[in-house]
Amino acid sequence: MDGPVSKEPDSAIDAAGLQQILQGRLRRPLQCLHAAECDSTNRECQRLVEQAGGEDGIWVVSADRQRAGRGRRGRSWLSDRPDNIYCSIGLVLELPPETLGLLSLLTGVSLAECLQRHGFRPQLKWPNDLLIAGRKLGGILIENHTLGADRHALTIGFGLNRRLDAEQLRVIEQPATSLQQHGHPPPRHILLQDLLVGLLPELLTFGPRDTDLLLQRFAALDAYRDRQACVVNGEEELHGICRGIDQQGCLQLEVDGRVRRFQAAEISLRPQGRGDDAAA
């Protein structure tokens, strides 16, 4: 994980300083690492968690660039700009399996609320996208290895477009945006610090008792609630109205008066009648 840090004035991330700030807010041991370049921060985190053998530590890995950044369902994530956020968290949590689908929502809500505090107006697209003005701002990738019973080794990765110019946005294969298009983003190290200060304590304390409040928070940010949408599930295309998220984190789609539930791994969600939204 060693390597030269980007020399851009608001890009440098001091892993040791970040670790010191975060550790004071957490009860578990924490290790922060930053690389000039890596394959993917998720892979680095997974390796560290595996080496720890299920210990209750926390690992935070960030990078200036990823050679093989990944999104949901095997898609690539453009990761060659040190102005942006590429970060993963590795940790072990004890949660009932039926609540694991809520972790992506929890992560998205925490990140979006942090951006609101910085003056931006993000929305969430179930299950794992952050949007601004209908265009993709960031994404979340959660990978799980079950250790037994309710114990899970989790890698929670997120990417966030902080600064991309018009030319960089044009080469992305879907409608995308960055914070730069909507205001004045804080320096990268400050933004990453604030995102983690909000997210890490929530991950460590989340449990089934918090589901109702989480769903309320998600609904306040949901870009699709009560909107017409098309859900693509394998070869099947369904048109209906999005009716929010259930207690297991599944999308609820009303089709011909009947509500159908979809898990995150099964579908992609596209707006009906709009061409400016980001694909899942």
Per-residue model confidence (pLDDT) at position 266 = 64
121 in the same domain as 19: yes
Per-residue model confidence (pLDDT) at position 234 = 78
Instruction: Output the pTM of the full model.
Output: 0.89
Q: Distance (Å, rounded) from C-alpha 142 to C-alpha 157?
A: 6
Q: Give me the residues paired with residue 156 across strands.
A: 89, 142
Per-residue model confidence (pLDDT) at position 186 = 95
233 in the same domain as 137: no
At residue 127, does pLDDT exceed 70? yes
Residues involved in catalysis: 72, 136, 270
Q: Which residues of 127-143 are buried (b: 16+ CB within 10 A; e: fewer)?
A: bbbbbbebbbbbbbbbb
Of 277 and 188, more confident: 188
247 in the same domain as 149: no
Helix (H) or strand (E) holding 209: none
> Structural domain tally of the chain?
2
Q: Distance (Å, rounded) from C-alpha 217 to C-alpha 40?
A: 30
Is position 2 within any domain? Answer: no
135 in the same domain as 104: yes
155 in the same domain as 259: no
pLDDT tens readout for residues 155-214: 999 999 999 877 777 777 678 999 999 999 999 999 999 999 999 999 999 999 999 999
150 in the same domain as 243: no
pLDDT tens readout for residues 107-120: 999 999 999 999 99
Which residues form the domain of 25?
A: 15-221
260 in the same domain as 192: no
187 in the same domain as 61: yes
